[in-house]
Structure 1
Amino acid sequence: MKKERVKLTAAEKSELFAEGVVTIVLLLLLNLSIIILIHLAILQDENLVNGIYFLKKTMTFAGNYHLWSWQRLFIILMWIADLIVLYWRLIRRYHQMQLRHVILELHYIADGHFDHRIPFAVRTDLQRVIDSINSLVDSTVNSINEEKAIEQSKDELITNVSHDIRTPLTSIIGYLGLLKSGNASQEDQQKYINIAFTKAEQMKSLANDLLEYTTLKSNNTKLNLVSLPIYSMLEQVEAGFELEAEKKGITFEIASRPKDLTIKADPEKLVRVYNNLINNAFKYGTGATKIKLIANLINKQTVELRVENNGAKIPKASLKKIFERFYRVETSRNTKTGGTGLGLSITKSVVDLHRGTIRCVSDDNWTSFIIRLPLDPEKAKSKH
C-alpha cells in the first residue's frame, strides 16, 4: 500500500492560519508587557541602572568589543523564543488534525469497509498507531475469512456426506424393495443381494473414513511413536498389495537409502498413509505398470518418503486441491472408482501429526507423492 501525507482541507488550512495569527498577537502583547515591566523596574531602581552600566562596561567580546545595547539583545532573544512558541503551537495543531483524519479513516473502516487501510505516513508516534490499526484490520479480516471458510467447509462436508450416503442408500432401498415384492427370480434375488451388500460396504467405508478423518483432526489425537525400520515396513506394505498388484499387472520397486534407515513414527498411521497412496494409484493411476516406494535420508533431521506411479498424469489444476476432503480429480461425484474422497485428506492429516509435509508432482512419466518427515517428531515439536 502506497503511503501518503495527510492532506489538509481548506477549512483546516484556515484553522491553522488563524491559530498562527492568534499566537502572534498574543506573543506581541506578552512581549510588550514584559518590555514595559522591565523599563518600569529600571526607572524605579537606581542601583539596577548602575549595575547594568557596570556589566556593559566590564563584559567584553572578541576584539575587545563591549556590548552596549542589552535592550537589542534581549529583544532578539525574545523573538527567537516567540518563533519557537509559534512553531510548537502550529505543529501541535497540525498533529491534532492528523489524528482527526486517522479517526475519520478508522470510522470508515468500522462502517464495514474492511478492504480499506489507513494510507497516511507521518513522522510521529502516530505512525505506530496507524501501523497497529492496519495490522489489526488485516488480522480481523483474516479471522472473518477463516470463519467464513470454516462455515463453508462445514456446509460442504454436510452436502458431500449426504450425497455419498444417499447414493448407495437409495440403491440398497431400491433392491431391497424388489426383494420384498417377491416378484424377482432366484437368480435376480442373489444379484440384488450382492449389489445391496456392495453398496452397504461403500457406506461402511465412508463412515469409517469420516470417523478417522474427524479423529485425526481432533487436537486430542496422540501418536504412538516407536523406532520404525523403514525398509522392513515397505516390504510389509508391498506384501499386503501383492495379489491386487498382480491382477492389475503392476510391479513394485522398493528402495531405502540407507537401507537401515530408522525413524520415530506411529507405525499404524504411517502404514495407513502408504495404503491410501497405493490405493489411490490403483484407482486413479490409469495405465500404471510400476509403483515405487522410496525412502531417502535428506539430512540428520529429515527423511523423504516417495510413492510414485507411472500412470495417468494428474491435471495441474487438481494438484492444489488434491488433499482437500471429498475432492476427486474426476469431474462427477460418481463412485465407479469406489473412493470416498477422504483418503488423501486422511493422509495429509497423518503427515501433519508427524510434523511433516506432503506434496504431489505429476508429469507425463510419473506421479509422485513426496512426504518429508522429521526423524523425531517430538524434537521437531519442541523446536516450534
Structure 2
Amino acid sequence: MSEKVKLTGKEKSELWIEGIVTVILLLMLNFALLVLINQMIAHNPGLENAIWGVKTNLTFGSRGFHLWSWSNLFLALMAIADVIVVYWRLARRYRQMQMRHVIAELHFIADGHLDHRIKFEVNTELQKVVSSINALVDSTVNSMAEERRIEQSKDELITNVSHDIRTPLTSIIGYLGLIEDHQYRSEEELLKYTHTAYLKAKQMKVLVEDLFEYTKVKSTTTKLNPVRFNMIAMLEQLAASFELEAHKKHMRILVSGEPDPLMMEADTEKLGRVFNNLIVNALKYGQGGRHIFLDAQRIGSEVVVKVSNDGAQIPNDALSQLFDRFYRVEESRSQETGGTGLGLAIAQSIIALHGGYIYADSSPEITSFVIHLPLKVGASLTDNKNKSNEEAGKSK
C-alpha cells in the first residue's frame, strides 16, 4: 500500500529554515519596495495625483470613505505574492527531498534487494518515474528468473542425455573390449557380443535423433510447411501402417470422426511424428488393452483429435509430468521399456508450433491423449495458449 514520503527530523528542520529564511527575505524586499515608492512619490508630485485619481474612483458615501488607499492595495498584492513565493519555495524543496528518497530506494534495490519496491506516493511527474523503476525491476527479476530456468533446463538436459548415452555406450565398450581381447569361446558367442553392441548403438542413434528433433522443434526459428489435407484420411493411413504391429500385440486400431472429409491446414510431416509417437506409446504401454481409438472431430474453429487405448491406467500423479523431457512412468529408466523419454515432449512442442495444445486423461476404462488444433495454422494462437494453460491446470 502506497504512503507519503516520511521526512526525517533533519528534513523537517530544513523545510522550517527554508520557510523562515524566505519570509525574512520577502519582508526585507517588501520594506525596500515601500521605501522606494515613498521616495518616488516624494520627488514626483504628479505620481501622487495619479494615485489620488484612482483613490477617488474607489470612494463611497458622502463622507468620502475610501475603500482602498494605494498603500493598502500594494500591501495586499505583496502579501499574495509572498504567499505564492513561500509555497513555491517549500514545494520545490519538498520535491527535492522526495527525489532524494527515490534515489536512496533505487540504490537499495541496486545493492541486490531485488524483492524491494518503491511504495510511497510522490508528485505526479516523479510518480511516473517511480512506476517506471518498479516496472523495470519487475522485468529484470522476471528475466533473471527465466534465465535461471533456462540454465537449469540446459543442465538437466545435459545430465539426462549423459545418463542415457552412458548406459548403452558402457555396454558397447564392454562387449567390444571382450572381442578386442578375444575373450569369447566360440563364434556364436562372438556374434552375440557384436549383436548386443549393435543393439546398444541403435539405442544411442534413436536417442540422438530424438534429441535433435526435440531441439529443432523447440527452436524459435523452426518453420512449419502447412498444407491442406483430410485429417480422417491421415488417421486411416496411420492405422494401416501400424496394423501389423497392432496384430502382434493382439490389438485393433479403429478410426472415426466427422465430418468426413475433415479438411484443415497443418504441417503433415510434423503431425505424423506426433501421431506416430502416440500410437507407439499406446502399443507399448497399453498392456491388457484390445483397442486403439483414433478419433477426430471438428468443433467450432478447431479440430480435436483423440488417441485412446483401453489398456492400463496411467497413475494420476504421473499425468502432469508425462510431457516433461526424459520422464518415464516406469521407475526404471531402461530404454527397452521406456524409450528415450522425449517422444511426448516432442509431440507437445510440435502441437504448440501449430498454435494448439495437448493433454492426457486416464481412467480405468480408457486412456486418452487429446489434441486441440486450429483449422488453420496461426489461427487463434493466443486463445489456444490460454486454453492450454487451463487444461494443464486441470490435469494437475
Pairwise same-fold verdict (TM > 0.5): yes
Match of 2:324 in 1: 324
- Distance, in Å, in 1 between the alignment partners of 2:344 and 2:37 is 92
Q: Is the 2:59–2:66 Cα contact (8 Å) retained in structure 1?
A: yes
After alignment, is 161-170 or 40-49 more displaced?
A: 40-49
Please report how far the alpha carbon of residue 160 of structure 1 lies from its aligned counterpart in structure 2 after TM superposition.
1.3
What is the number of residues matched between the two proteins? 381
- Distance, in Å, in 1 between the alignment partners of 2:42 and 2:224 is 97
Please report how far the alpha carbon of residue 251 of structure 1 lies from its aligned counterpart in structure 2 after TM superposition.
3.3
Match of 2:141 in 1: 141
Query: What SS does structure 2 have at the residue aligned with 1:125?
Result: helix
Q: 1:367 to 1:43 in 2, by over 3 A?
A: farther
- Structure 1 portions without partners, runs of 5+: none
Match of 1:175 in 2: 175
Letter in 2 for 1:41: M
After alignment, is 199-208 or 280-289 more displaced?
A: 280-289
Match of 2:84 in 1: 84
Percentage of identical aligned residues: 56
Please report how far the alpha carbon of residue 185 of structure 1 lies from its aligned counterpart in structure 2 after TM superposition.
4.5
- Distance, in Å, in 2 between the alignment partners of 1:282 and 1:133 is 56
Please report how far the alpha carbon of residue 343 of structure 1 lies from its aligned counterpart in structure 2 after TM superposition.
0.6
Match of 2:39 in 1: 40
Q: Is the 1:253–1:293 Cα contact (8 Å) retained in structure 2?
A: yes
Please report how far the alpha carbon of residue 270 of structure 1 lies from its aligned counterpart in structure 2 after TM superposition.
0.7
Letter in 2 for 1:325: R
CA deviations over 1:111-138 (Å, ceiling 9, x no partner): 2222222222223111111111111111
Query: What SS does structure 1 have at the residue aligned with 2:322?
Result: coil
Please report how far the alpha carbon of residue 60 of structure 1 lies from its aligned counterpart in structure 2 after TM superposition.
5.8
Kindly report which structure 2 residues correspond to 1:158-197, keeping only aligned pairs within 5 A, or say none.
Answer: 158-180=158-180, 181-185=182-186, 188-197=189-198
Q: 1:196 to 1:65 in 2, by over 3 A?
A: farther
After alignment, is 53-62 or 319-328 more displaced?
A: 53-62
Q: 1:360 to 1:17 in 2, by over 3 A?
A: farther
Please report how far the alpha carbon of residue 75 of structure 1 lies from its aligned counterpart in structure 2 after TM superposition.
1.8
Q: 1:282 to 1:28 in 2, by over 3 A?
A: farther
Kindly report which structure 2 residues correspond to 1:13-52, keeping only aligned pairs within 5 A, or say none.
Answer: 13-52=12-51
- Distance, in Å, in 1 between the alignment partners of 2:149 and 2:280 is 30
Q: Is the 1:202–1:338 Cα contact (8 Å) retained in structure 2?
A: no
Letter in 2 for 1:230: M
TM normalised by structure 1 equals 0.89
Letter in 2 for 1:22: V
- Distance, in Å, in 2 between the alignment partners of 1:16 and 1:257 is 79
Please report how far the alpha carbon of residue 235 of structure 1 lies from its aligned counterpart in structure 2 after TM superposition.
0.6
- Distance, in Å, in 2 between the alignment partners of 1:358 and 1:196 is 37
Instruction: Calculate the aligned-residue CA RMSD, in Å.
Output: 2.8
Letter in 2 for 1:356: G
Kindly report which structure 2 residues correspond to 1:290-309, keeping only aligned pairs within 5 A, or say none.
Answer: 290-300=291-301, 302-309=302-309
Query: What SS does structure 2 have at the residue aligned with 1:166?
Result: helix
- Distance, in Å, in 1 between the alignment partners of 2:164 and 2:47 is 106
- Distance, in Å, in 2 between the alignment partners of 1:24 and 1:313 is 86
Please report how far the alpha carbon of residue 263 of structure 1 lies from its aligned counterpart in structure 2 after TM superposition.
0.9
Letter in 2 for 1:141: V
Q: Is the 2:328–2:341 Cα contact (8 Å) retained in structure 1?
A: yes
Query: What SS does structure 1 have at the residue aligned with 2:328?
Result: coil
Letter in 2 for 1:47: G
Q: Is the 1:216–1:350 Cα contact (8 Å) retained in structure 2?
A: yes
Match of 1:3 in 2: 2
After alignment, is 160-169 or 145-154 more displaced?
A: 145-154
Letter in 2 for 1:168: P
CA deviations over 1:71-94 (Å, ceiling 9, x no partner): 223322322221111111111111
Please report how far the alpha carbon of residue 326 of structure 1 lies from its aligned counterpart in structure 2 after TM superposition.
1.8
Kindly report which structure 2 residues correspond to 1:362-377, keeping only aligned pairs within 5 A, or say none.
Answer: 362-377=362-377
Match of 1:131 in 2: 131
Kindly report which structure 2 residues correspond to 1:212-361, keeping only aligned pairs within 5 A, or say none.
Answer: 212-300=213-301, 302-361=302-361
Q: Is the 2:356–2:381 Cα contact (8 Å) retained in structure 1?
A: no
After alignment, is 331-340 or 10-19 more displaced?
A: 331-340
- Structure 2 portions without partners, runs of 5+: 386-396
CA deviations over 1:165-184 (Å, ceiling 9, x no partner): 11012122223344453434
Please report how far the alpha carbon of residue 234 of structure 1 lies from its aligned counterpart in structure 2 after TM superposition.
0.6
- Distance, in Å, in 1 between the alignment partners of 2:316 and 2:121 is 43
Q: Is the 1:213–1:345 Cα contact (8 Å) retained in structure 2?
A: yes
Query: What SS does structure 2 have at the residue aligned with 1:263?
Result: strand
- Distance, in Å, in 1 between the alignment partners of 2:88 and 2:366 is 72
Match of 1:75 in 2: 75
- Distance, in Å, in 2 between the alignment partners of 1:249 and 1:87 is 92
Q: 1:87 to 1:186 in 2, by over 3 A?
A: same
TM normalised by structure 2 equals 0.86
- Distance, in Å, in 1 between the alignment partners of 2:85 and 2:318 is 68
Q: 1:84 to 1:192 in 2, by over 3 A?
A: same
Q: 1:225 to 1:117 in 2, by over 3 A?
A: same
After alignment, is 306-315 or 150-159 more displaced?
A: 306-315
CA deviations over 1:219-247 (Å, ceiling 9, x no partner): 44332221110110011111222232233
